[in-house]
Structure 1
């Protein structure tokens, strides 16, 4: 959040990775500064521009799936047994560890943190829900005409990885849940996120994505497997589209996303993954993790973007910053 805010205040346009931030207040501050400065912000939610995601969303919004009452978003990975601690070690040469940690706690370095393992340490991020979940929650919100749910409840744990370990002598494990569900209750439908390290769902034939359950059939928005509509009537054949990526190896469309960002800057238009929509998509994983930490439901006021009737949960919408860092003003 802090580099993005500083860049916008200096007049720069910003391309920033997803999610927008670890906590609500930081994301809210980014949105406020983007609105005040008029700078273009593109967030790395590249599934907003992938060809099969665009055509799949057109199919969903055409009404052919019927009235949709439930969306289930998920990522399944195979379990590998209890997680062993990674030894604390010297910071790699040339790495400024203090600045890397930034406003977050300054903890001993271990190789598991970098380059991408920090996503599963709750001092720095929100685990699989914040990493993978934001992509598929964004797809759900892209389809929905409702900006936010009314209630959020999450449960989960580490049945595969085991209890988290932080031992100054023997090293650290991650501490994010390896198994988690979140239920988002909207006015007209229910959305569920789940991730797990147990076996997948072979009968459903998809390991990653989002199922949209409608009155006329089931639509699966996938990743490397494209999208598929399974009609309710067995006499009708499924409808399928293969995926298309500008980088086949990693299965992303970042070139298209970057081109859209530059086009938005050049022509003063909104990018496909702008700050406002990406803020909402990033907030839902944050709320899910607050519910997970506290073990209870949250009531969400979408018009004021605040948690109702729960001061403890409300306090978790921000985080303490390490000196000399200062939490964004106005958040």
Structure 2
């Protein structure tokens, strides 16, 4: 490389409510050099995910926040350009936390996955064959545990987690109800095998959901919160399981008191009466399952038993606007930024 430049996007300020362009800053700096035990990556794809909104806040979470003036966090697929780690060679393709930038120096010991010999598109390592797919797999395996004949409902069902949840649950014999925003997404759910597909934007959504689950809901895979959760709660069966993966409807309201009555005491009473299991989780809680996931998901994808959809955005400079759209549900499928 001759005088290469690293284009990166840093967190310029912490948002209060909905983020906008003023909270990011694009910088161009010389490409850094790796130190002992590190590798230099040329990032090819960047994953945009809802959890990144939480990293913009300073409050307590399951991972530290991004510091002001630091590169925004994000998983990337990258190629090793220079290695000072014995386990990696120039040309290796890897998944790393490379961030919102075109080049990244990362510790070799922090790289847990190599993609050499992968026959699927490399971008899928950030979606159905990566963290989102594993989130669906682990949440169902460890918490949801759908049984044949049970009814599973999943919100944000056209996204990479929700779509995978529905298809795995269907393979396990469950009746699946997918909820998405907009008619195009609703129709997509039908093409990938959901028994019922609903649009949460419909005026009579709550009534449609009640009709769709005459025997109640045994598993609700929570990705959204808000009015979808409100519609689900009265329909839960005794001993229902609720894996809580995300609550994107309230991410921009973190730290604020939401309007309306306090319904938490009533929900706690329902948890007790109906013996509900409600568990929040992060996919890395179940990382021991990852090798099994790679084996099974790889076969399902090869067999066509799992379908997926990607929403590819070209160019790092377009990442902030794409991220804003993600928080509003404008993406259709796994949102990935192509960096080359």
Q: Which interval holds the TM-score relative to the shorter structure?
A: under 0.3
Task: Name the one with the larger strand percent.
Answer: 2
Could you tell me the TM-score, scaled by structure 2's length?
Answer: 0.27
**Higher RCO structure, 1 or 2 (CA under 8 Å, sep 6+):** 1
Could you tell me the TM-score, scaled by structure 1's length?
Answer: 0.27
